[in-house]
């Protein structure tokens, strides 16, 4: 049972595609991304951590459903993520973004 779903790796590509379609200046949540990809938020976290294309995958645009930035495997950690968000016009104060202003729904 623990390995019965290994063939369903197509979900990962869906998450990446959806994330790439998020416009600049907007962010999405793990729950929303997972929902759009028909998967679970837990899986999305693994996708970002195990992603082989950080250059093509703006994981910094993904935040928690609470608006908290969460984490970042890229350079600088969450600090780098917050900086990138601000570069996109998103105010990430105290590691939090305004979802009601930047939350992107699929």
Residues 6+ apart with CB under 8 A from 87: none
**25 forms part of the interface with DNA (CB under 7 A):** no
Assess 16 for contact with DNA (CB under 7 A): no
Active-site hit among 59, 62, 82, 99: 59
For DNA, the closer CB: 26 or 65 = 65
Q: Let me know: does 74 contact 59? Beta carbons within 8 Å.
A: yes
3-state secondary structure of 63: strand
CB nearer DNA, residue 49 or residue 101: 49
Listed in order, strand segments (DSSP E) in the chain are: 28-29, 62-63
Q: Counting contacts by CB under 7 A, is residue 88 touching DNA?
A: no
Cα–Cα distance for residue pair 15/34, rounded to 1 Å: 7
Chain positions contacting DNA, by CB under 7 A: 2-3, 5-6, 8-9, 11-12, 29-31, 39-52, 59, 62, 64-66, 68, 70-73
């Amino acid at each position: 049972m623990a390995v019965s779903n290994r063939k369903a790796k197509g979900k990962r590509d869906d998450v990446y595609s959806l994330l790439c379609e998020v416009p600049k200046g907007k962010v999405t949540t793990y729950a929303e991304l997972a929902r759009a990809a028909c998967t679970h938020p837990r899986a999305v976290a693994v996708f970002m951590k195990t992603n082989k294309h950080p250059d093509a995958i703006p994981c910094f645009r993904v935040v928690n459903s609470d608006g908290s930035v969460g984490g970042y495997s890229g350079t600088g950690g969450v600090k780098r993520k917050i900086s990138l968000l601000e570069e996109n016009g998103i105010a990430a104060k105290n590691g939090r973004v305004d979802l009601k202003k930047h939350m992107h729904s699929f």
